[in-house]
């Protein structure tokens, strides 16, 4: 068993940064991370789940899925990890592990290709992971007002929506503040006292 | 598994061999509750470089302060599952202490959330 740890051990929390390809996920991670964004990979075999050892599957092909992440040491007790989510499709199972225990998610929207963030929104809605939508303001992209974007994305009125510049530390920080405030506001206890 | 382990397999062996050679063929950890952000820290001040395999020593050298499984995987350039298996062994050997994130995510920890909010605001 893994211990719950002594009180001297910090606790780790996780926020996911999702969105379509090229929406600025790794850029946003890098803007606020205290370390250069790291990349690691998970190894997938065709044999997949249910295989405990490799006897007999020597010839099975493997594939890898890359994960980019950053780290922010919030204080001596809490370390925040930001994970960019991998592309959709065959990596959905990876999203399950990523979403497990995640405090919440930021969905980066690119107004030039708004539809690319639909799968992320669907996923978080289905899993009950609280999320905010950050519209990454790319240079040269047509500006829409947030009401238009909200209608196009068909998300509920309670889901926070904000403009951001994923390259800018202050802007990325504001998005994270919005998310954590939103997560706090959704807690039953907070609702009762509000 | 010695210092020269990077060289004894040629490219034809494919990408599967080296990572799973490190785990002696195992594809999943005995401690199944380890996850990407489980924090790991060395339990002892001294590393037993004589009896421990080089792969274990490499992890212990990084874990003088708490590091997540994901960071260990990135630093050692091996897949996450391999680090989980090796860390699981180190837990059984009592060489590391591991701490999982909040055990039950359905019971929100208001104190933790508030600490995260305060921390993010200070960035």
Q: Which of A43, A79, A183 sits opposite B113 (nearest CB)?
A: A183
B102 contacts chain A (CB < 8 A) = yes
Residue B116 CB burial class (10 angstroms; 0-12, 13-18, ≥19)? buried
> How much is the ipTM here?
0.83
Tell me how many degrees the CA angle B118-A10-B49 measures, rounded to the nearest 5: 150
Beta strand segments in A9-103, E: 11-19, 38-45, 62-73, 78-84
The alpha helices in B7-101, defined as continuous H runs, are 17-22, 54-62, 69-76, 80-92
The two tokens of residue A2 are 């893994």
Which residue from A2, A11, A32 is facing B112, i.e. has the nearest CB?
A11
Domain range annotation of chain A: 11-51+59-193
| A142: closest CA of chain B, how far (Å) | 30
For A59, what's the count of Cα atoms within 13 Å in the CB-facing half-sphere?
1
* Max Cα-Cα span within chain A: 59
Give pLDDT tens digits along chain A (194 positions).
465 545 578 999 999 999 988 889 999 999 999 999 998 877 665 444 444 445 544 555 556 678 899 999 999 999 999 999 887 666 777 788 888 889 999 999 988 888 889 999 999 999 999 999 999 987 767 777 888 899 999 998 999 999 999 999 999 999 999 999 999 998 876 554 44
Partner A contacted by B86 (CB < 8 A): no
Percent of chain B predicted with pLDDT > 70: 80
| Chain A positions in Cβ-Cβ contact with residue B101 (cut-off 8 Å) | 11-14, 101
Dihedral angle sign, alpha carbons of residues A131, A162, A79, A40: positive
What is the DSSP secondary structure assignment for residue B67, as one 8-state letter? Answer: E
Which helix (DSSP H) or strand (DSSP E) does residue A33 occupy?
none
pTM over 0.95: no
Distance from the A140 Cα atom to the nearest Cα atom in chain B, whole angstroms? 29
Which chain A residue has the Cα nearest residue B114? Answer: A184
pLDDT tens by residue, A33-76? 999 999 887 766 544 444 444 554 455 555 667 889 999 999 99
Percentage above 70 pLDDT, chain A: 79
Contact A181 B117 (CB under 8 A): yes
CA distance A102 to A63: 25
The answer to whether B69 touches B36, Cβ cutoff 8 Å, is yes
Closest CA to B80 of B99, B64, B67: B67
List, as ranges, residues 12-41 from B with C-beta within 8 Å of A.
14-16, 19-20, 25-28, 31, 33-39, 41
- A173 to B68: CB separation less than 8 angstroms, yes or no: no
A11-51+59-193, what's its fold? Rossmann fold (3.40.50)
**Averaged pLDDT for residues B65-92:** 94
């Amino acid at each position: 068993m893994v211990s719950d740890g002594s009180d001297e051990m910090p606790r780790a929390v996780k926020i996911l940064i999702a969105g379509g390809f090229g929406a600025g996920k790794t850029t946003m991670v890098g803007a606020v991370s205290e370390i250069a964004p790291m990349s690691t990979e998970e190894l997938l075999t065709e044999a997949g789940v249910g295989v405990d050892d490799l006897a007999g599957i020597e010839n099975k092909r493997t594939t890898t899925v890359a994960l980019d992440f950053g780290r922010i040491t919030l204080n001596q007790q809490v370390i925040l990890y930001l994970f960019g989510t991998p592309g959709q499709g065959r990596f959905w199972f990876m999203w399950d592990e990523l979403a497990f225990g995640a405090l919440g998610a930021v969905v980066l929207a690119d107004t030039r290709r708004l539809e690319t963030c639909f799968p992320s929104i669907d996923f978080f809605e289905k899993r009950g992971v609280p999320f905010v939508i950050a519209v990454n303001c790319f240079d040269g992209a047509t500006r829409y007002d947030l009401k238009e974007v909200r209608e196009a994305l068909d998300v509920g009125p309670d889901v926070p929506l904000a403009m951001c510049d994923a390259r800018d530390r202050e802007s990325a920080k504001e998005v994270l503040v919005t998310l954590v405030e939103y997560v706090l506001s959704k807690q039953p206890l907070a609702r009762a006292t509000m | 598994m010695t210092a020269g382990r990077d060289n004894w397999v040629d490219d034809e062996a494919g990408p599967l061999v080296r990572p799973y050679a490190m785990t002696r063929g195992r594809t999943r950890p005995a401690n199944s509750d380890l996850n990407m952000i489980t924090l790991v820290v060395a339990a002892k001040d001294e590393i037993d470089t004589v009896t421990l395999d080089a792969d274990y020593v490499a992890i212990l050298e990084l874990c003088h302060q708490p590091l997540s499984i994901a960071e260990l995987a990135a630093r050692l350039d091996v897949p996450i599952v391999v680090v989980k298996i090796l860390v699981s062994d180190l837990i059984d050997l009592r060489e590391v202490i591991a701490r999982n994130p909040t055990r039950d995510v359905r019971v929100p920890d208001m104190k933790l959330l508030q600490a995260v909010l305060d921390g993010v605001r200070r960035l």
